[in-house]
Structure 1
Amino acid sequence: MPTTDDLFADSTPAAPEQIAEGAWLLRGFVLSDADRLLDAISQVASQAPFRHQITPGGYSMSAAMSSCGEWGWVTDRQGYRYSTKDPLTDQPWPAMPDLLRQVAIDAAAASGYEGFNPDACLINRYETGAKMGLHQDKDEADFSAPIVSISLGAPITFMFGGLARTDKTSRWKLEHGDVVVWGGKSRLFFHGVAPLGKRSEHPQTGPMRYNLTFRKVT
């Protein structure tokens, strides 16, 4: 029986598209696994519910977040950091589902980063108006591993800049099943997403977008 993705999109991944030195956009790369990935997100969220974390400055993040793997990313008045325990439950984060780990490994390899073995998966849930300002992923102990970012659900605009916040950014429309991988010279480039538009939606998630970001923390 065809899946929703079969009805609405071509499930054949496109050739990797370079967006900067060391950074690649893999359109439709996980489309054939999208249904199972959404199920895995639900399983993780049943153990570590999505929540709007508070920044050190006291602001509530517009995107709701959960995590799985050995490490989860947290923010509060004490700062940004990784933790082995969910602060809501004081329990270890849910184990990273095998499917999530494997698609991250495969996407990294397809982008020239063999041997990637993530120990953290941050899951962001965007609803209408939610965004992520330009930032660097720099809380990890080692920057030699790439970042793998998977998009599911409603399309959103991804912004990719340079080593300075003021560097010019390029803008890329990310759709259901797309993956962005960056490392090497672009590992610390500033990046973010524009607010999720009012008319942005997908048949499976409605006006909601999920982003899974895989990292090697230690």
Structure 2
Amino acid sequence: MGGDNGGGADTEASERHTPIALRDISARWTLERPLALAPIDLDVPAGTHLAIVGPNGAGKSTLLAVLARHLDPESGTYFLDETDACRMPLPAARGRLAVVDDSPYVFASTLRENLRFAATEPTDGALIEALERAGLGAWLRGLPDGLDTRLGTGGRGVSGGEQARLGLARAMVSQRPVVLLDEPVAHLDSATARAVIDDLLSASDTRTVIMVSHREDGRDGFDRVLALQPPLP
């Protein structure tokens, strides 16, 4: 699943707490393929930090795709802030959601431009605060040109841990009330993964965070852990 932090979130929606409720939600990727997510009921009050775990084929990433409005459910109703999300215009629904996957894309541009697309005209102060909250403050201070440092092709290289934290910083910049994470630390060593997750949860104390992960790193920092099982054949 690709990251979807750009496009300028609606300010009113961004500032509103957004509870999530699923009622008898199931999903499959195509009609020809078996059910990928067994029917599920789920309530996620605003501000909850929820980890979703389970074996391969349990439907973890499928559930996240439904929540991100990247996949329409086959059955059931998905409520965002007590509104049927599948009847909302896509920009309105996605404007409440910041999506971070396991490999956030780094543009061949400045650090500022790599962050600012996630919101409408953010100030440099907001960008710096997001980097600090994502655990990149010391990294930023060590860059030769600060926010004007070029990243990616032709610029400064970015490590796996820095890349993961950049994805989290974009989510912070977006000000969206729900953060959806699809295996955000899949490629990191255990110590780095735990540090990234700890920084994320600390920076998202008022936001809803839903993370899919095969790993155990940092799960103890979540309010709840939901274990999914593969759909019955």
TM-score (norm 1): 0.31
Higher relative contact order (CA 8 A, sep 6+): 2
Q: Which structure is higher in strand share?
A: 1
Q: Which structure is higher in helix share?
A: 2
Larger radius of gyration: 2
